[in-house]
Amino acid sequence: MKQINLILMPQTWLIRALMILATLFIIGGSVSAQAPSFGFGAFAGLNYPVVQDDQEKGSAYGFLVRFKLLPMVAIEPNVTFGKWGDPDPFEGIELGIEGSKIKSYGIDLTLGSGLGKLGFKPYMHGGIASYKIENNDTGYDNSKLGFSGGVGFAFGFSSAFDIDIRGKAIIAPQEEGSKKAVFVTAGVNYYLGAY
């Protein structure tokens, strides 16, 4: 009988930790109509490389889960998928390679933006993630732990729905140096238990 051992797979500790944390919050938390404590969302936008001559502007999208820790503090396990654009010609010569793909599994701490609150809600966020960067044309494939931070705002139309706009700067360490980018995304969050 063939069995996959997740404990031995590289960087699955972060994924396991996120799954355990999510399970504990779901089991241990109670969702009430007055104060939602759990929600989920999706986002999409642009991905701007910073100090990278071999990449151009690309796209990003992803999903997040929000758990309220305190009235204005939330924790956000998230997954993001992105692709940088093809590099510009170098001295008039087409390089013939596509932009790299980036995938991250992370967890952010958000200060501000109360879950289920109405109106304009600015916030700050920061976190850690496992960043995987790969390029099929060059054979590059690297995964390392990195960091992110940024600001954003949400606008609550009801206690159940937010529109979320955010900027997120990432630093993804590589074997030599690091890949840096800024994601600018818009998304929608839905909160369970808000009626």
What confidence category does residue 7 fall into, taking pLDDT thresholds of 50, 70 and 90? very low
The pLDDT-based confidence of 90 (bands split at 50, 70, 90) is low
Q: Is the pLDDT of residue 69 over 80?
A: yes
Residue 143: pLDDT band (50, 70, 90) is confident
Band of pLDDT at residue 4, cut at 50, 70 and 90? very low
Contact (CB, 8 A) for 56 and 188: no
The percent of residues in the chain predicted with pLDDT above 90, rounded, is: 36
Least confident of 85-94, 134-143, 147-156: 85-94
CB atoms within 10 A of CB 85: 16
Tens digit of each residue's pLDDT (9 = 90 or more) over 23-54: 555 544 444 445 567 899 999 999 988 877 66
Can you tell me the mean pLDDT for 132-139?
A: 81
What is the mean predicted confidence (pLDDT) over 52-79? 88
Give the pairing of strands 140-156 and 73-85. unpaired
Mean pLDDT of 74-78: 94
pLDDT at 37: 79
- Has residue 11 got a pLDDT over 90? no
Whether pTM exceeds 0.85: no
Task: Tell me what pLDDT residue 110 has.
Answer: 93
Class of CATH domain 6-191: mainly beta
Task: Tell me if residue 31 falls in helix, strand or coil.
Answer: coil
Q: In this structure, what is the dihedral angle of CA atoms 77, 27, 117, 39, given to the nearest 10 degrees?
A: 40
- pLDDT tens, 91-123? 666 656 777 888 999 999 999 877 778 889 999
Domain ranges of the chain: 6-191
Q: Report the pLDDT value the prediction gives residue 26, as an integer from 0 to 100.
A: 52
Q: How many C-beta neighbours within 10 Å does residue 193 have?
A: 19
For residue 143, what are the CA distances in angstroms to 12, 83, 105? Answer: 11, 15, 11
Question: What per-residue confidence (pLDDT) applies to 6?
Answer: 42
